[in-house]
Structure 1
């Protein structure tokens, strides 16, 4: 009996036990190694890979992926938004972006998904210009960076914003940047979408000098030659900040975007390239009420025949009491959000776009659409397919309001507001003041520090509310949810469908974030950076919660993987 026990080894384990053990390994570094051990393990591992793929697809279809924040995220990577990112060789590569002060970067970072560690490649060659809103895509063994935008700076004086048409190629094998000078280059642009199909890179839309476009440019990556594609017939509206996704070698999907003031798009377009004559088709969108409230500042990620958009929901959150209910409000109207206070782009309409979500105007309400110039009080974010946006300084200051005679008292009388949500907004502000008063009273009872709030500016009280709320409740006030778009019939029937929204709130879900990047890994979605703010809850001239630029890495994974 002892001889029998000594001869037993791991190969004698039942297949079910091996499958469970192998499912606990990292899909980035261990799966391939296990397959090389022996033929039996190769067969078992193929079954594990297939099972993990099925579980991940099912979790995406049912919007049941769970949030997890990386425990190894360090401060070595500066907080940023409007950056570019892509997946290549078991890593997420991140380029550029900008900070809350509008400072743009030209650094390149590699996040190893196997070790969950940040790596700063020591690259040589011709570095790209510091910028944001550029597109970064993987092509064979290289990364291709195109376009971008940099915020105007006061020094030297009167320096305007810059739009780039530079094309850089990064080779990870030798860690070298190279600048390429193709013939017939398009004008500089930012907020565009880029896709690789075969040996071509297809670029659609974008903005140049505050003017958006709907042009399609094609770059031959073999001969390095740009071509402006002449597409007849119906076309999408000029836009930037859309999501551009490859369906197959003959079709590209364009989702959402922004075309200017009050021109936020929630439409879906299909670019067909199956013949010599390319054509556009606008797809029918079913169940639009289940879609993300804002698509231009939330990049989409394709997973199989589904598209995932991470955003807050406008529906009441009744499944979890800890999740605070928030009602959508009209974004602040500020035409000075564009660089140097130039106002909205020339030629853009000031009325609501017909492509806005249906039912808003029909119900007698004003359309809650916005563009970069009305998103935040002092910045001009414009999303790209890689999560970028037009960067500008994010002001953390709040205008000082007139002090009231007592805490919780109504604000001083003002001129009647023409905003439809004025009374609702005032009610919310009064609730904030009441919670702050209760907190001060509790501190007095407990012998804590006392403060004289009679003559304290209301704006100062607002600035103190955010940290107080985070201490009382660690759950996000406006958590992010999965919005899933079924694109399985996009090519055959020209129809896409938003799947039912699951409003079960995840305790680990981050606060509503915009202008982040989102990529698909192996059995998970990876989200990085962005601005933690709620566009719908921002009021004209008052920002209750200070905006936070993040450098956090979040994962969306199946419950099976998390165990």
Structure 2
């Protein structure tokens, strides 16, 4: 504190003032790491030439760090979750099987509809500003889509979002309800903030749980639709799975055409993921057929109009693959890695350590994991594992004292684990894909537990997970039945997931 006499005499005090421009570049780069890579990055590059140069460096560092940690399988990685609860001032209903579209040019994540429960569908329209992490409900005009879930929602890259298909529950009377599929195609215009309905008698018909992506074939953008659950106009309820391939031109011509496929086709399925690789190829992965859960990968070429199944380059196809459910995948570009999350699987066995000796399993040897001694997964490939590895007796699980007050065994065994599929050799002379060893055996602090029907998007150096159905075992609540202690709760949690030392 300054002396009062000095203050009264108004003597000048020399203070060594420092401005942000005087900071060393190393400090500025460190500060810029903590800025979200959206609007803030666009702003700092406009300050001066030095900041523009530093922006390019930090942008490259953030992208390379994120993708290298996803693709490199020889080192452990730390997964950081940052959860944001739904805003209290908005009625953002928790949901699952909703439609999500990420538009990088607007730095926005758009969410439409979904299901609130097994009997209620939604048609509210939201956008998430990734710069401020804030939600805003969009009040649009025009021909609004009906309440529905399990529809595809993609950007046509011409200023419109395309919403196609879906399903909803229709009340027949006060007691009975039935499931109805939708065949409508709606487009949302950013410029007019308006929905439009595009009718066409040649459309694929009522459909849900299908996949869609945009591709530029012969300098013409098309939406490609594959698979799903289909119905008929006379009976718009799910009747069978399909493996048909359709293309839609644009909102002006509004033309549907079924693509005639030569040769073999993927098994009819629903709940799969579809991605565009280039102007000539798309591929699908995952989903479920009428008899099994699918982990196969198929590539379609528009030059030959043929499907090709891409072999899995693991000694056993289920090694390091996710659990058997319809979990969504997202693609991290340019690392050519597919990412998904699933229930934690068992601890690696000695046979797996020897078989995959080129990989580093040191991250699996943490004290907490050794003390937990989690039993094997109960997935469908467990019977196959019993023939490959000797059956061992597992000790009773013990919760480490360091985490006893924060986690319990049910939460740990039901947490999320990252799974990665390497696509880098999909166009080689011997095309193949490879499931990479899991880079962490548990994700403490994950916002959901064995969640299904959530959305997963890869944005700028981060993954965005929203909604879903959480399966938990809660003994404090009333049981569904005497023999069933499983509970399902609808999640409204928004989670941002970064890899390694990238700040949130």
TM-score by length of 2: 0.78
Gaps of 5+ in 1: 331-355, 366-423, 436-467
Alpha-carbon separation, structure 2, partners of 1:286 and 1:151 = 42
Choose which of 180, 201, 216 in structure 1 pairs with 2:223: 201
Question: What secondary structure sits across from 1:508 in the alignment?
Answer: coil
Which residue of the other structure, out of 40, 45, 55, is the alignment partner of 2:65?
55
Cα gap change, 1:214 to 1:101, in 2 (>3 Å) = closer
Q: CA deviation at 1:318?
A: 6.6
Quick check: 1:486 aligned with 2:422? yes
| Partner residue of 1:549 out of 481, 490, 498 | 490
* 1:517–1:528 contact (8 Å) kept in structure 2: yes
Give the aligned partner of residue 112 of structure 1: 129
Deviation per CA, 1:19-51: give whole Å up to 9, x if none. Answer: 222222221111111111222221111011000
Number of paired residues? 434
* Partner residue, 1:242: 272
Q: Rate the CA distance shift 1:74–1:286 in 2: closer, same or farther, 3 A.
A: same
SS of aligned partner of 2:135: strand
Kindly indicate whether structure 1 or structure 2 has the higher relative contact order, using CA contacts under 8 Å at least 6 residues apart.
1
Q: C-alpha distance in 2, partners of 1:86/1:150? A: 20
Corresponding residue number in structure 2 for 1:233: 263
Identify which of 209, 214, 231 aligns with 1:191. 209
Secondary structure of the corresponding residue to residue 227 of structure 1: strand
Q: Does 1:210 align with 2:239?
A: yes
Deviation at 1:289, TM superposition (A): 3.2
2:449 counterpart residue number: 511
The worse-fitting range, judged by mean Cα deviation, of 313-322 and 230-239 is: 313-322
On the 8 A contact 2:215/2:222 being kept in 1, the answer is yes
Choose which of 15, 27, 42 in structure 1 pairs with 2:25: 15
Distance in 2 of aligned mates of 1:233 and 1:105: 40
8 Å contact from structure 1 (residues 240, 258) kept in 2:
yes
The residue aligned with 1:132 is: 149
Q: 1:33 to 1:229 in 2, by over 3 A?
A: same
- Residue aligned with 1:43, SS: helix
Residues 248 and 104 from structure 1, CA distance in 2 versus in 1: closer, same or farther, beyond 3 angstroms? same
8 Å Cα contact 2:119/2:177 also seen in 1: no
Task: Confirm whether residue 278 of structure 1 aligns to residue 305 of structure 2.
Answer: yes
In 2, are the aligned partners of 1:292 and 1:310 still within 8 Å (CA)? no
8 Å contact from structure 1 (residues 70, 116) kept in 2: no
Instruction: Provide the C-alpha distance between the structure 1 equivalents of 2:186 and 2:330, rounded to a whole number of angstroms.
Output: 24
How far is the alpha carbon of 1:61 from its aligned partner?
2.1
Per the alignment, in what secondary structure is the counterpart of residue 67 of structure 2?
helix
Task: Choose which of 137, 144, 152 in structure 1 pairs with 2:162.
Answer: 144
- Structure 1 20/36 Cα, relative in aligned 2: closer, same or farther at 3 Å? same
SS at match of 1:214: strand
Is contact 1:323–1:478 with CA below 8 Å preserved after alignment? Answer: no
Q: Residue 284 of structure 1: CA displacement?
A: 0.8
Tell me the equivalent position of 2:101: 86
Q: What is the aligned partner in structure 2 of residue 520 from structure 1?
A: 458
Q: Distance in 2 between matches of 1:35 and 1:123?
A: 33
CA-based RMSD: 3.4
Can you list the C-alpha shifts for 1:417-470, whole angstroms capped at 9, x where unaligned? Answer: xxxxxxx9xx99xx99xx9xxxxxxxxxxxxxxxxxxxxxxxxxxxxxxxx998
2:413 partner SS: coil
Residues 161 and 188, structure 2, Cα contact 8 Å, conserved in 1: yes
Please say if residues 256 and 295 of structure 1, whose CA atoms lie closer than 8 Å, have aligned partners that are also in contact.
no
Structure with more strand by fraction: 2
Change (3 A) 1:486 1:174: same
The alpha-carbon distance between structure 1 residues 28 and 474, as it changes in their structure 2 partners (threshold 3 A), is: farther
Distance 1:313 1:210, change over 3 A: farther
Q: Aligned residue for 2:337?
A: 306
Residue in structure 2 matching 1:497, options 414, 434, 443: 434
CA distance in structure 2 between the partners assigned to 1:47 and 1:41 by the alignment: 10
